[in-house]
Every structure is written in C-alpha cells, then in structure tokens.
Structure 1
Amino acid sequence: MEFGINKKIKVAFICQMSSEFVQDRLPLWKKSEFIGAWISNTVEGFKNLKDFEIHIISSHPFLKKNYSFNEDGISYHFYKSGIPILDRNWPRIFRLDVLTKFYCNRRKINKIVNFIKPDIINLHGAENAQYSLSILDLYKKYPVLVTIQGFVYLETSTREDRIRKIRVATEAKIIRNCPNFGGDFDSMRMIKEMRNSDFKFYNFYYPNGTKIDKLSEKKSDKDFDLLFWGRTIKDKGAEDFLILVSKLVADFPQLKACYIGPIQQQYQEFLRVRSIELGCESNIVFHGYLRSEEELYTEVLKSRILVLPTYNDRFPTVLREAVHFRIAVIGYATGSIPQFNTGDERILLSDQGDIAKLYTDAKKLLTDKSYFNSLTEKAFVHGIKEFSIENNCAKMAAAYYDILKIIK
C-alpha cells in the first residue's frame, strides 16, 4: 500500500489550535489567545516519526484569508470562520452558523481534507461541534481515529442554549458512529456507556512538550503555597479552591495562593467578593490568562502545590506538567486522574466536594518537607515516562498502523 509523499502515511488532524509559532506565520488582523497546546506538543513528537506526513486543519480567529504553510515537514491549513467577508463572530442573537450546523466550517474542512486525501483522519475532540461535525461527513470515506479531549455532556451549565444542545448531540452522534477512539482509560469506560456496538480503544495521553524538560530543572523562588491553574470556572473547582484557602489561612496566616488561567471579569469579581466574606482576600492573587509560555511557566514554577478540585475532566494537561516541575498535586478523583496512582500513591486525591480532605492533604504537604519531596519525586519519575512525547506519539502511531492494518 502506498502512502503520501515517498510512501508516507498521510494523517489529517482536525482540531482547534493556535500557538505563538502559528500566529507569527499567519496573516492576522490581530493576535489572540493560544489554545490547544497539547496539539502543538503532539505535532512536535511526530516530527521525529518519519513514516508520517502530518496535516493540521484548524480555524483561526482574526484570519485575513484561508492560509496554508509547511514547516519542518508539518503542513498547516487554517480557514476563516464566522461571518463571511466581515471577519466577525456571529452575534449571539443570530447564530446562523449554529442554525446551519456549522455548514460553512464543514464545507471548508471537507474541501481541505479532499484536497489532502489523507490515509487516516485524527479528530481531536468530538465535543467541539464547530469542527467535529465535519467528521460525520467524512467517516464513511476515510478511516478515522477520534481522540477524546473531554465530554461536553458532563459539563454543568446554567442554561440549555442551542449551542450546548448541538454540541451534546454532535458528541453523541460521533461516538455512536465512529468505531475507533483514543485517550485516557476513563474515556474508554464513558464511550462504552454511550455505545451499543463494539469499538476499538487505544490508550495514550497528550504528551508534555519538549520545553517542559528544560524548565523542569529550573530553580525558582516559591512565592505561592497553592496554585489553581486552568480555566477559572465553577466546574473546575474555582470556588472549592477559595474555600480551601480560607480554611488554611486559619493555620497559616501568611499563606499565599494564586489563580492562573482565563477568567471572565464578572466571575473574578464574584470570587474577590467571596474571598472578602471568607477572610482571605489578602492571601489571593489573580494572574488571569498569561499569553506567553515563558511568562506562564515562570509563574507556575513559583508555586508549591497544584490544587485540582475539578468536577469534570479527563486527565488535565496541567497535572501532567505540574508533576514534571516537581509541584505537589492534590485534588479530586475525577475522570482518569486516579490512574496516575496505579501501583503507588504519587498525588493526593479525595472524593469530589471533600474540601476537608483537601485541607488535610495540603496541611501535611506544607508542614512535612520530607513527605513533600518524596511524593513529588515519585510523581516526577513516573510522569517522565508516562507523559513523554516519544512514548505517547509512538502509541498514537501504533493506533494508526492498526486501524490501517499495517504490520510494523
């Protein structure tokens, strides 16, 4: 069987991603937030796997025109989304893109895919309907691997708007129709509950990036005892984190904690008012979204303990990166997070909502340096192997070989 250029296997990643590297090369009206760092990390790993020709297909905000380029053997295909010609997002009161089930996006993705003629498509995230809907047009024509990033139906929401409904319906339809999936162990269980037919599941994680290896040896003053890192929303435990800080302040009046990650101004103000009520406003710092990777990791490295009180997650990227930095991790036993403790305790977990256990675990780590060092070293050693680019990209490659019935 012949594949791609020089018999390479053509793989099309349908995803949503942006990075500093990408934005420096695109014709943009203005820069935007970086997203999908795990896609960039995966691409980095595939640069060393010479059997593959990787094509990235993604929309991008503020794009002046559809744009493709190639660098280091990776092909990037970015398309404009939103209102044609005007280069703006659709207004909430008239979401024609939603009403048409993202017809324009699907048409652009299908055109790119059919131009590439990939041997296999890797859809990254069934839950993002703005691009994932396209796979329902393509899965009968091309072999497909769906990599799970999360499950939108598990997210708590105060409103059942049309966008959420179409995302939930799209996710369910993709999982019912596509036969091949990849991701963490708990995602396999979730898919089994949603399907009535057999499917194949390939276990791997999105890997840590190569920059993490260099940063893991960097020394930094520990200005913060506790860290909340990620989207600052209720679903991720932002309010549980605040309660935990307030309880610890009674024992550690000088304790410092910080939030790092995107947050809506209204929600930040809500948390600030709540921190006053709880008596811990002076102990909290909001860093918000840090656009530069260098700035982000510089701030992250200043913390001792990452708190993951999340109610809806698969296996958070921030966990993978924190253990690489020898930052201790405490949190809720959500999704596949407990899998990291298989064979030994490396992070401290509690049931969802058990802030008393979080308090006990945090207090022990703050007062027992020997225990802290032992725990973080075990997590670091295990994480180096478990989340390496080489290990996980090799597993993804093995999945492609198996789906395509190629013997290696």
Structure 2
Amino acid sequence: MKKKVVWICSFANEEVKNILESEKDIDAAPWISELIGIFRNREDIDLSIISPNYFNNEYKEFTLGNINIYLYKYKPSFLPHRAYNLTLNYKIATKSVLKIMGELNPDLIHLHGSENPFYGASALKLINKFPTLVSIQGFVSLSSKPKNIISQYVRWNRMRFERKINSKASYFVLSSTNDKKNLKGTNTKAKIYINYYPTIVPEVSSSDFIDKKYDIVYYARVTKNKGIEDLINAMHILKETNPSISAIIIGGGSETYIGYIKELIVSLGLTNNINFAGFQKTQQDVFRLAIQAKIYVLPTHFDGVPGSIRESMFMRIPVVANAVGGIPSLNDEKECITLVENQNISDLVEKIKLVLNDRKRTEKLVQNGFELIMDKYDNEKIYQNFINIYKDILRIEHKQ
C-alpha cells in the first residue's frame, strides 16, 4: 500500500485561479507550484496538499493530476488578508488544517516552511502526532528589523512560530549546508537532509535578446528584506559615474510599500533610470522581461537558494547576490555567481561594476552557472531525493 504524505504549505497560481473561477491574480510560492508539477503524475506515494485559499477564503477540494488538493478558510471573512498577520495564534487557519488532517490521517507530514504561521501554526498541533519533515525556506530571524512598529510585531510573531516549529520537529530539509548552523542553534538533535525546490524552466534565454534595454534586472517580491532599497541606493551611486545606468524592477508587493519605493526612486532622481514593471501574470512573462537586462541583481537580506537566481543561471543571465543563507553554496564547486557582503551597498556597487565591465570573467561565471543548474538542480533528481527522504524517515520511525 502506498504511503500517505501530506504537504502543509501555501501556494496560488493561474491554474488554481481558473479552477476556482476567480478574477484575482495571485502567484504565491511559485516553487511549490513547480514542485507540484514534478509530483502530480507520479504514483510512488498518495499525496495530498493543504493550503490557505487566498482566492476566496473558502473550503475547496479538487485534484491536480494524482494529487488531492485541500484549500481552506484561513481568516475571518470580513478581515483583509494583510490584517490577519496581526493575529496572535492563527486559530481559524489551525482549526481548518486540523479538521482536514483528521480525515487524512497521513503516514508523514511535509511542512514547507516554518516561517509562515498562515499555515505553519497548525504544525505545532501535529508534530507529536505524525512524523513531520520541515523544509526550511529561510529564517525570519535573520531578516532586518523593520522601522514600522506593526511590521515589527508581525516579524516577532513569525519568529515566534519559526522558533517553536524548528525546536520541536525532528526532520528537516535544507537547500544548503550553510543553514545547518542556524538550525542547530535551535535544535541540536535535528536530522538534516539536503534537497532543493525545482527550477522553473524558462522558455527564453539571454541570447534571445541581444541588444539589451537595461543594465540590471531585479525580479522578486518588492520588500525591504529582498534588498530592493539597497539596489535603488546602489543605483543612485552608480549614476554618479554612469548617468545612463538603467534597471527594470519586476515584482509585486504591498500597495503601501510599492508607493514608498516609487517615491524613493523619484527623490533620488532615478525616474529616467528605473522602469518599475511591477507584477506579471506568469513567470514566463517575468523571464521575457528579465532577458532584456545584462545582469540580475538580488541583494536579499536572508534566503535559502532563491529560485530566481537558479532561473537566471538557466537563462544565462549573470547574477550578483548577497552572500546569505544557501546562496554561497552555488559557488561551492566553482564560481558561478558574484557574491556581495550582506547589506553593504558600497560592495554591491563595486560588484555590479565588476560584472558589467569584466566581460571575460562574467562569461566564465555564466557558463559555470549553466552547467551547475543542468546537473545539480535537475528536477528528476529532486523528485527522487524527496521520495528517498520520505522513505528514510518512515524507516527510522518504524524502528522506534
């Protein structure tokens, strides 16, 4: 009999939008959608997925290939999505998950991320009942402390759940050995596996757009922790010696914060240097814009191994990124990307100049990165690794 595995996670995409006949454009956690893609037609396990329903906040049940999908009501109907971040214990979301779990009774739970209590809070009620594997998607505890007092509370509450889950769970998946120290500081007995989320395969390559329109592309969620302010301040410095320096910013975010970023661009005199393209409906739309730039810059303050970096390597776009989380591991075997000291804008400026100006070095890194992505991050290997991890955990549990 096939083992029953339940993923507790958060995702939303165009396919789900169409199934629910929603008019909302929501693309949440695209790495989960890609992981679903490599599991949906397999038969090694009986897989179910539980996720908040970001489209209409109602209970919905359907299938994607061989996967059973359960979307749940995660907040009071009258409360805006962002406002639910201010709750303390996420009781509605937890109650919804526990009800579904009672019906499924799985052999194994796979929690994708301990840092998001919208779904992760429920794991605290389940860890002692079911073997639970936690994929670390980053550590909120490594994020910058916001200036806004409300944002400080949200960060504190997310850190609280992150710490509780990471201290109680027994099994973890990391995308890099670099994160082991952070995890071991919370849980010395953690059993750690290494695996990755799939890379969204772009349908385009940098070579498809020879005459570049921009020097720099940033594509990620537009938030302080993804380093967007660092990039804009770096652009301000770069403009002093290169008045025509240009960038395109791709990604969504809160309306308030995006308004602030647009004001920052104006205040620094960068209106003619930065094109704010905003949210795009599909990742392929993002890629078609990204290849119009010479280099990809992601000065993220904390992360795992971001999918956007791997996608850029696949598209043969040179990468400049902060040396945080699992990102330095991309250079373990040979140099593939240019690393920047975290939150060091001067270093960011110099590394951008280096990649733009040293063509020979840049071409070598691009080739190294493409070879790495085609080998180490092969989606079939990722699938088999997860299946083997599930089997190993169940073997260990059976012995106990």
Q: Structure 1 stretches of 5 or more lacking a match? A: 1-6
The 5 Å alignment of 1:1-400 reads 7-28=1-22, 30-47=23-40, 49-63=42-56, 65-83=58-76, 86=77, 88-89=79-80, 92=83, 98-99=87-88, 101-155=89-143, 156-158=145-147, 159=149, 162-184=153-175, 185-195=177-187, 197-209=188-200, 211-212=201-202, 214-216=203-205, 219-221=208-210, 222-400=212-390
- Identity fraction in percent: 29
Aligned length: 392
User: Residue 73 of structure 1 aligns to which amino acid in structure 2?
Assistant: N
1:352 Cα deviation after fit: 1.9
**Aligned equivalents of 1:263, 1:98: Cα separation in 2:** 20
Contact kept? 1:332, 1:352, Cα under 8 Å: yes
Q: Structure 2 stretches of 5 or more lacking a match? A: none
Contact kept? 2:46, 2:67, Cα under 8 Å: yes
1:193 Cα deviation after fit: 0.7
1:49 Cα deviation after fit: 4.1
1:265 Cα deviation after fit: 4.3
**Aligned equivalents of 1:81, 1:240: Cα separation in 2:** 34
User: Residue 171 of structure 1 aligns to which amino acid in structure 2?
Assistant: E
Contact kept? 2:57, 2:75, Cα under 8 Å: no
**Aligned equivalents of 2:354, 2:163: Cα separation in 1:** 42
**Aligned equivalents of 2:253, 2:36: Cα separation in 1:** 28
1:167 Cα deviation after fit: 2.1
Taking structure 1 as the reference length, the TM-score comes to 0.88
Q: Which residue pairs with 1:4 in the alignment? A: none
Question: 1:250-288 deviations in whole A, cap 9, x for unaligned?
Answer: 443332211111234444444444444544331111111
User: Residue 219 of structure 1 aligns to which amino acid in structure 2?
Assistant: D
Structure 1's 149 and 96: CA in aligned 2 closer, same or farther, altered over 3 A? Answer: closer
* Cα-Cα RMSD: 2.4
Moved more, 186-195 or 264-273: 264-273
1:88 Cα deviation after fit: 4.4
Partner SS state of residue 382, structure 2: helix
Structure 1's 360 and 90: CA in aligned 2 closer, same or farther, altered over 3 A? Answer: closer
Question: 1:45-95 deviations in whole A, cap 9, x for unaligned?
Answer: 223543122211111124274111113111111112222xx4643784xx6
Taking structure 2 as the reference length, the TM-score comes to 0.90
1:140 Cα deviation after fit: 1.7
